[in-house]
Amino acid sequence: MNAWKIRLVTVVLIFFLCGAASAAVRISPLPPPPPTAKLRVFVVAVTTEFKSAKGPVFWPLSPEEFDRKQKQGIDERLKQQGIYEVVGDSDIRAVLGDQTIASWEWLADDSRLAREAGRALHADYVLVSERGFAFHLEFNTRLFNLHSGQAFAAEGYVPNTMLWRMNNDQKMQAGSEAANIQLRRIFQEAKGDLMRTAIRKGKISAKAPAGPPKAEPPFPEDKRGDAGDLSAGKEPRTAQDPTAGVGAASLSRAQTGRAPNEKQQAFEKDLEQALNPKSPKKSGPRLIVYDFEAAEPMKVAGLILTEALREELYHFGDYVLIQRENMAKILEEYKLQRSGLVDEKQAVRVGKWLAANEAVTGNLATLGNTIVLQAKRTDIETLGTLAVASIKCPAGREDELLDRMPELAAKLISGKK
């Protein structure tokens, strides 16, 4: 038999083997949860192992432990923002039981199993975080919108020139920071999609009648084909032979092409800064940005806009921006609301506890067929207004506000309306 025929037969056998194994995973759908405007996310963290002639890769942290810690870290990060409702372990067990699912099964056929499980869990999004090793230590993160089929991807690898000078603890830190960098990037890229989903869910939850939620019709199958319809023009991920020992990270690079050099260079720069942080900036006013006030159907959209404004103000560099984590600790400690500090005195008090000099507050509201976002920058000591700014858009095109965040930030900083 010719060599090409042997390869063809091998590929076909692997395809059917993987398909049969994936089909063997039993999924039991949950009853629909109560309607909410929060974005429900199912997180999957996996390690794909590359086995060379010398044996498997030695990980500083076992794949099982890494996957557990990675998922836990992502869960906590998402929950902290107030935008997301992360699918809990009890729900996952109810859908998948005690089945042991291999990494290649989660990733095969462009994470089809993860998407199917996400639908059974009534998730809006599935986030797949993958660690692998081929030629470098690689990290691939995918975010799937289970309603529209839209997908987002962030990829990067830690060069061996960096790994060779790291001990095990530093390698684990590098892995954690790499995952954090990709999370920031993928949610930054997907923010318009997240906004549209949050607004749609907010309207549905506002109209939901009292009583137990009714079952929704099943989501249609993705109409984008496979992951080949990603904006980056990538080819679909192929199912893998579980016995071949080739990591999904290596396959994804071979099939999709390495990320453009400028993206990888930016990834390495961010990673270097995270691993070797400079002394935190101590000069300039300390600025606290509170979550925007909004009616319940628009509350999550308001939180997404708040995060976008924080990002823009951070890039201005004129301020020491107080981290959300620090603000959350104070709010939790004093049993205060996480968002919408309507009482100005309370907002000032929290700002003083965090040694802030200035505060930004805002309101997202609907006026007829127009959506208006108003924001104000206040001197915490004198309560004087330093700047007031607003932006607006037609109802139904709220994601346009995200595109105008640089404009809003510039107005707040300059004091121009």
Domain edge (last residue) among 275, 310, 337: 275
Q: Is residue 9 part of a domain?
A: no
Collect contacts of 63-70 with beta carbons under 8 A, ≥24 apart. Answer: 63/103, 63/131, 66/131, 66/175, 70/45, 70/129, 70/131, 70/176, 70/179
In this prediction, residue 131 carries a pLDDT of 87
Look up the domain containing 105 and give its range. 21-275
- CA distances 387 to 114, 276, 357, 359, Å, are 47, 36, 14, 11
- The Cα–Cα gap between 133 and 157 comes to 9
Residue 179 lies in a domain: yes
Whether residues 118 and 256 fall in one domain: yes
Q: In this structure, are 316 and 391 located in the same domain?
A: yes
Boundary residue ending a domain (221, 246, 275): 275
Please check whether residues 255 and 153 belong to one and the same domain: yes
Residues 142, 227, single domain; the answer is yes
Kindly give the parts of the chain with pLDDT less than 70: 1-23, 50-59, 208-260, 278-283, 326, 328, 330-345, 415-417
Residue ending a domain, among 253, 275, 297, is 275
Q: Are residues 375 and 260 in the same domain?
A: no
270 and 295 belong to one structural domain? no
- CATH number for the domain harbouring residue 300: 3.40.50.10610
> In the prediction, which pLDDT does 87 show?
95
Domain count, the chain: 2
Q: Are residues 338 and 269 in the same domain?
A: no
Distances (CA, A) of 202 to 35, 83, 361, 401: 9, 12, 22, 17
Assess whether 263 and 293 both reside in one domain.
no
On whether the pTM is more than 0.75, the answer is yes
Co-location of 132 and 239 in the same domain: yes
404 lies in the same domain as 341? yes
Q: What b/e sequence results for 303-322 when a residue is b if at least 16 CB atoms lie within 10 Å of its CB, and e otherwise?
A: bbbbbbbbbbbeeeeebbbb
Adjacency order of strands within the sheet including 125-133: 84-86, 39-48, 125-133, 137-145, 151-158
Element (H, E) at 32: none
Q: Quick one: pLDDT at residue 180?
A: 84
27 plus 105 within the same structural domain: yes
